[in-house]
C-alpha cells in the first residue's frame, strides 16, 4: 500500500488513531465527493472558498471564472484543500462525548493554472463526466470565449492526510448506567426527483445521468 509521507503539516496529532495516510483511503474520500473547501491567504487574511473539484490521477482539479478572486489568488500560492463527508451523528451519554462520524481529507500544495487549451478542454470534459457520466457528448461544444473565461487549477496530491471516525459513542464508564438514549444517527447525501426546466423541449426524456449518482456515493431519496 502506498502512503503519503507524514510531514510536519500532515501528521495528525489529535486522535492519531483516526489518521490515514495511504493513497487508497485519501483517493476514496476524494472520489466520494465533488465539493471541497480551498483555503488560501491574501495579505495575511485567510479565505476559505467552497467550490467543486475532481481528481485526475495524482492531481486534484478545480475551476472558476476568470473574474473570480479565488482562482487568481490561489494559483502559484500555498493552499489547503479539504473534503468532508458526514456519515453520522454520534449521540453519547454526556454532551462532552457527543461526536460525529466522518471521512475527511486535507491536502497541502501549490496549484497552477492549466494554460494549454487542449488540456483545459479535457479537464472541463472530465469535470462534467465525473458528475454526469455520458453528458459531455450531448452538449454543444465549448466555445473559445467560454474557455477563456474559465480558469482551471490543478495541484499534485503529494502532502495529504485523511481522518476517519466510525462507530458509536465512547462514554465515561460511570455514565453507562444512565437511562438515556444513545447511539448513531446515520447521515447520507441523497438526490431527489429531477425538476425539468420550464423551457425543456417537448419529448426530451430525463437521462440516466440526472437520476443516478451512485458513482458519487449518493443514493436516491
Ligand atoms: C465533520 C467533522 C466535524 C468535526 N467536528 C469537530 C469538533 O466539533 N471539534 C473538534 O475539535 N474537532 C472536530 N473535527 C476534527 C477536526 O477536523 C480536527 O481533526 C480536530 O479539531 C483537531 O484539529 P488540530 O488542528 O488540533 O489537528 P492536528 O492533529 O494538530 O492536525 C495536524 C494535521 O493533521 C491533519 N488533520 C487534522 N484533522 C484532519 C481532518 N479532519 N481530516 C484530515 N486531516 C486532518 C492535517 O494534515 C493537519 O494539518 C471534526 C471533523 C469533521 C470532519
Distance 200 CA to ligand 1 centre (A): 45
d(CA 213, CA 191): 7
- Locate the domains of the chain by residue range: 16-87+100-169, 189-221
- pLDDT tens, residue by residue, 124-160: 999 999 999 999 999 999 999 999 999 999 999 999 9
User: Counting atoms of ligand 1 from 1, which one is nearest the CA of 16?
Assistant: 29
Cβ–ligand 1 contact at 80 (below 6 Å): no
* First-to-final CA distance of the chain: 35
The pLDDT > 70 percentage for the chain reads 100
Residue nearest to atom 48 of ligand 1 (CA): 10
**Architecture (CATH level 2) of domain 16-87+100-169:** Roll (2.30)
- pLDDT tens, residue by residue, 191-216: 999 999 999 999 999 999 999 999 99
Per-residue pLDDT, averaged over 52-61, amounts to 98
Average pLDDT value over all residues in the chain: 96
User: Counting atoms of ligand 1 from 1, which one is nearest the CA of 100?
Assistant: 3
Cβ–ligand 1 contact at 9 (below 6 Å): yes
Parallel, antiparallel or unpaired: strands 150-156 and 190-191: unpaired
Closest CA to 155 of 104, 105, 106, 112: 112
Q: pLDDT band at residue 217, thresholds of 50, 70 and 90?
A: confident
Per-residue pLDDT, averaged over 46-62, amounts to 98
Amino acid at each position: 500500500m502506498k502512503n503519503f509521507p507524514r510531514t510536519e503539516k500532515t501528521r495528525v496529532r489529535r486522535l492519531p488513531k483516526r489518521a490515514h495516510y495511504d493513497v487508497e483511503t485519501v483517493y476514496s474520500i476524494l472520489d466520494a465527493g465533488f465539493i471541497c473547501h480551498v483555503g488560501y491567504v491574501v495579505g495575511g487574511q485567510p479565505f476559505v472558498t467552497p467550490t467543486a473539484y475532481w481528481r485526475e490521477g495524482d492531481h486534484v482539479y478545480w475551476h472558476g471564472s476568470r473574474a473570480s478572486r479565488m482562482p487568481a489568488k490561489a494559483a502559484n500560492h500555498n493552499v489547503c484543500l479539504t473534503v468532508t463527508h458526514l456519515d453520522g451523528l454520534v449521540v453519547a451519554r454526556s454532551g462532552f462525548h457527543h461526536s460525529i462520524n466522518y471521512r475527511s481529507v486535507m491536502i497541502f500544495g501549490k496549484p497552477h493554472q492549466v494554460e494549454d487549451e487542449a488540456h483545459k478542454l479535457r479537464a472541463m470534459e472530465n469535470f462534467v463526466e465525473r458528475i454526469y457520466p455520458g453528458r459531455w457528448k450531448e452538449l454543444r461544444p465549448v466555445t473559445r470565449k467560454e474557455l477563456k473565461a474559465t480558469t482551471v487549477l490543478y495541484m499534485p496530491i503529494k502532502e495529504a492526510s485523511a481522518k476517519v471516525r466510525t462507530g458509536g459513542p465512547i462514554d465515561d464508564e460511570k455514565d453507562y448506567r444512565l437511562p438515556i438514549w444513545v447511539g448513531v444517527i446515520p447521515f447520507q447525501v441523497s438526490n431527489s426527483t429531477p425538476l425539468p426546466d420550464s423551457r425543456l423541449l417537448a419529448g426530451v426524456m430525463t437521462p440516466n445521468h440526472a437520476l443516478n449518482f451512485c458513482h458519487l456515493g449518493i443514493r436516491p431519496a
